[in-house]
């Protein structure tokens, strides 16, 4: 088997792309999207026509936000025709600190999917892992709407998400490592920081072990990978969302990808921290974590900017 097939044997593979025409070749179980990936797809001629769909054009005449949601659901519906599992669709990142507004947008996305014949069980609503985002996910969970908590960088965010009973979290492995590399500067030793010694890998492993030791049902999906070494170190993680470029690299390789993470042998949690986190503790912990607070703010800003760019396309 090639490396990708070996990885599939221990982790569910998720395609990190909105380019649904690639999915039959990649054969993922699920797919994740975000404003940046949708915008990238729309700049290619084979996807540009989606913005001209009648329902998108009609909505754009009176409400650009609704038009954007309809466009996201168009992409999501096309994706679901080509995969057996779920698609993650993101709520407008500009609402990341507003639980009520995020909930309204999330419910509209689900309503649009259901109007298109897609059951809510095949959709994960993506929300930034802010306190407001996690509170929104808690409310949606009570109505059978599953969420994917994105832009997750810290153990505290992971604890709060699990306490809220969210379906899935997405620790951003690569961006955590990016931060560590930037802080180290010239002292960074790339070879010494590969595999299990990678800071992003270590951050995910801490969360994964904590969840498994406590039998927490929230799924852990590694995200934002920079190389195949990070993937190899996390073989066996519940899910791994991977760019088409890295999936192709794995397909072309035959390097061994044995299971490294096995819930049956997760052992005791390294942390005895309580699961529950209140708003004050969450804010204090995030404020004291320069990496997590910086990367969270940076991610929200980037997704918000791409969301604005998407609205610009719809306006024209």
Q: What are the phi and psi torsion angles at 296 (to 5°)? A: -65, -50
Catalytic residues: 126
Q: With helix as H, strand as E and coil as C, how does the chain read?
A: CCHHHHHHCCCEEEEECCCHHHHHHHCCCEEECCHHHHHHHHCCHHHHHHHHCHHHHHHHCCCHHHHHHHHHHHHHHHHHCCCCCCEEEECCHHHCCCHHHHHHHHHHHHHHHHHCCCCHHHEEEEEECCHHHHHHHHHHHCCCCCEEEEEECCHHHHHHHHHCCCCEEEEEHHHHHHHHHHHHHHHCCCCCCCHHHCHHHHHHHHHHHHHHHCCCCCEEEEECCCCHHHHHHCCCCCEEEECHHHHHHHHCCCCCCCCCCCHHHCCCCCCCCCCCCCHHHHHHHHHHCHHHHHHHHHHHHHHHHHHHHHHHHHHC
């Amino acid at each position: 088997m090639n490396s990708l097939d070996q990885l599939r044997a221990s982790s569910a593979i998720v395609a990190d792309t909105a380019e649904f025409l690639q999915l039959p070749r990649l054969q993922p179980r699920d797919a994740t999207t975000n404003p940046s990936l949708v915008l990238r797809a729309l700049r290619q001629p084979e996807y540009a026509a989606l913005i001209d769909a009648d329902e998108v054009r009609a909505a754009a005449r009176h409400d650009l936000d609704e038009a954007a949601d309809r466009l996201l659901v168009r992409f999501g519906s096309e994706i679901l025709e080509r995969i057996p599992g779920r698609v993650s669709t993101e709520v407008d990142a500009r609402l990341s600190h507003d639980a009520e507004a995020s909930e309204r947008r999330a419910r509209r996305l689900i309503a649009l999917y259901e109007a298109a014949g897609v059951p809510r069980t095949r959709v994960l609503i993506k929300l930034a892992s802010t306190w407001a985002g996690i509170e929104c996910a808690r409310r949606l969970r009570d109505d059978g709407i599953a969420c994917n908590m994105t832009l997750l960088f810290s153990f505290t965010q992971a604890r709060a998400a699990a306490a809220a009973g969210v379906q899935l979290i997405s620790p951003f492995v690569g961006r955590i490592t990016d931060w560590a590399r930037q802080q180290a500067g010239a002292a960074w030793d790339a070879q010494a920081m590969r595999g299990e010694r990678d800071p992003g890998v270590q951050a995910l492993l801490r969360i994964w072990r904590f969840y498994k030791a406590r039998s927490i049902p929230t799924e852990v999906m590694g995200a934002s990978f920079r190389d195949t070494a990070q993937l190899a170190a996390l073989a066996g993680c519940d899910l791994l969302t991977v760019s088409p470029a890295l999936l192709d690299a794995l397909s072309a390789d035959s390097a061994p990808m044995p299971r490294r993470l096995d819930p049956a042998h997760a052992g005791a949690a390294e942390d005895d921290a309580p699961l529950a986190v209140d708003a004050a503790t969450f804010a204090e912990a995030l404020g004291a974590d320069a990496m997590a607070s910086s990367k969270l703010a940076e991610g929200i800003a980037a997704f918000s900017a791409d969301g604005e760019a998407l609205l610009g396309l719809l306006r024209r």
